[in-house]
Amino acid sequence: MYTIMVVDDSAFIVDVFVTMLERGGYRTLATYGGQECLDLLKTERPDLILLDIMMEPMDGRETLERIKTNPETKDIPVMMLTAKQLAPDEAQEYAIYVEDYVLKPITHRELYDVIEYILNRRARIRQDVEAAKAAGADQQVIDEYARISKSIEVNRRLMSILESTYNLSDARARVGDEIARAIRSMNMNITFQEDRLSQIRSQMKIPVTNPESA
């Protein structure tokens, strides 16, 4: 049974997500703010953290930074939750640290699907890493493979949110120069990472798979 930690300064929101998760068969840890989350992580190691962005006095950004800069907790996957529109600069910032970014409100099925996708992705990458180690692949290359594999999928997800937010599929849509530049930069970064991942897969002799169908 997977353990999911819910972090929000609204007791009502925490209760809603805890109820949804427990109905889905997950064990839950409820925390009502950033500091309470950090304190509980001293004794608990959840499989995933659902972290709200808009909190007080410690917001989600600071909480995320403290989780990821602590050697004891940096490997715990974090999914950001917010009702706030995602901006391109935030997408670039979060892509390094998070597993996904989910807009509230969210249905039971959508929540379960994204959690299972995250956990399955981590398991898939872990299997590839173990196979590469057994084959004698260089550890530095293995580490790069794991990092880029996750990064590509997170960036694709964030790009999908941006495309929906700014209606980029509509040729008539108009976005500011700054937003357009940020989105082009993200697309270029994804393309670069995909090329590099293909090279690494060849070195590690890992077959190419479609992450979206995994």
pLDDT in tens, 113-139: 999 999 999 999 999 999 888 888 899
**How far is Cα of residue 8 from the mean position of the Cα atoms in its chain?**
17
HSE of 73, CA atoms in CB hemisphere, 13 A: 23
**What is the structure's pLDDT at 35?**
97
Using pLDDT thresholds of 50, 70 and 90, give the confidence band for residue 214. very low
Between 170 and 157, residue with greater pLDDT: 157
**Which parts of 24-138 fold into alpha helices (H)?**
34-40, 60-68, 88-95, 108-134
Using pLDDT thresholds of 50, 70 and 90, give the confidence band for residue 174. low
Query: Quick one: tokens of 5?
Result: 């930690």
Express each pLDDT in 38-77 by its tens digit.
999 999 999 999 999 999 999 999 999 999 999 999 999 9
Query: Quick one: tokens of 96?
Result: 């390094």
The answer to whether the CB of 98 falls within 8 A of the CB of 65 is: no
DSSP structure string for 155-186: HHHHHHHHHHHTTTTSTT----HHHHHHHHHH
Q: For 3-19, b where at least 16 C-beta lie within 10 A, e where not — what string?
A: ebbbbbbeeebbebbbe
The model's pTM is: 0.84
**What is the structure's pLDDT at 26?**
97
Please state, rounded to an integer, the average pLDDT across all residues of the chain.
87
